[in-house]
Chains A and B, each alone.
Chain A
Amino acid sequence: QKEVEQNSGPLSVPEGAIASLNCTYSDRGSQSFFWYRQYSGKSPELIMFIYSNGDKEDGRFTAQLNKASQYVSLLIRDSQPSDSATYLCAVSGWNTDKLIFGTGTRLQVFP
């Protein structure tokens, strides 16, 4: 079983719609969870992180964490074509520096 799993996609949504990206993880000791966006040929850039159960909102983005289900998601409201990218979920333990990445979900927002 992979440590961090994501559906590779592509996930296609129309402009203005809500895109929902999901991620599951295997290590129950995981404490912090990150969503990164990566454009082709570029390094990942942080969208947001979350470490408490529930929702965390930042502009058009909402991260949701459910530790009991070992599940974290990212919602993108009012999706724009510029949001088209690969979204990487990353997980870290409390006492470790290491970030373990999922395989990423490719999002396509069409006009």
Chain B
Amino acid sequence: GAVVSQHPSWVICKSGTSVKIECRSLDFQATTMFWYRQFPKQSLMLMATSNEGSKATYEQGVEKDKFLINHASLTLSTLTVTSAHPEDSSFYICSARVGTGITEAFFGQGTRLTVV
């Protein structure tokens, strides 16, 4: 299957700082990537759809100025959590699909963000 690499796997940062998470498709081109957030014992909540060469599409309730998404190439999308606060502490996961419809989504390893 296709490989999606996410980095870092965990990060601890101080409140008020920004954190960048990278998501790379290693062996395929992903015109679209997805960013999810998962709080403990909860499901994956889609935050935004990242489109190569255009602005990301954010889900309702997700602050686009706080969660900056850049999809600079067909193999790289980044999520920057700006001015992080403790309530932003969560497990962030990216994924990519090859095509639409019945194609599976490939997930990165996830990033555990802890804001202290």
Contacts and interface: CB of A to CB of B under 8 A. Distances in A.
Overall SS of chain A's interface = loop
B63 interface: no
Contacts of B102: 31-32, 49, 51
Contacts, number: 60
Overall SS of chain B's interface = strand
Nearest to B100: A97
A98 B46 contact: yes
A43 interface: yes
Contacts of B100: 92, 94-97
Nearest to A50: B102
Interface stretch (B11-19, B65-73, B82-90, B105-113): B105-113
Contacts of A44: 44, 93, 107
A73 B49 CA distance: 27
Contacts of A92: 100-101
A45 to B, nearest CB: 7
Contacts of B107: 43-45
Nearest to B32: A97
A103 B43 contact: yes
A53 B101 CA distance: 15
Interface of A: 31-32, 34, 41-46, 49, 51, 88, 90, 92, 94-104
Interface of B: 1, 32, 34, 36, 42-46, 49, 91, 93, 95, 97, 100-102, 104-105, 107-110, 112
Pairs of residues from A and B, 6 with the lowest C-beta to C-beta distance, nearest first: A43-B107, A103-B43, A32-B102, A101-B44, A43-B110, A51-B102
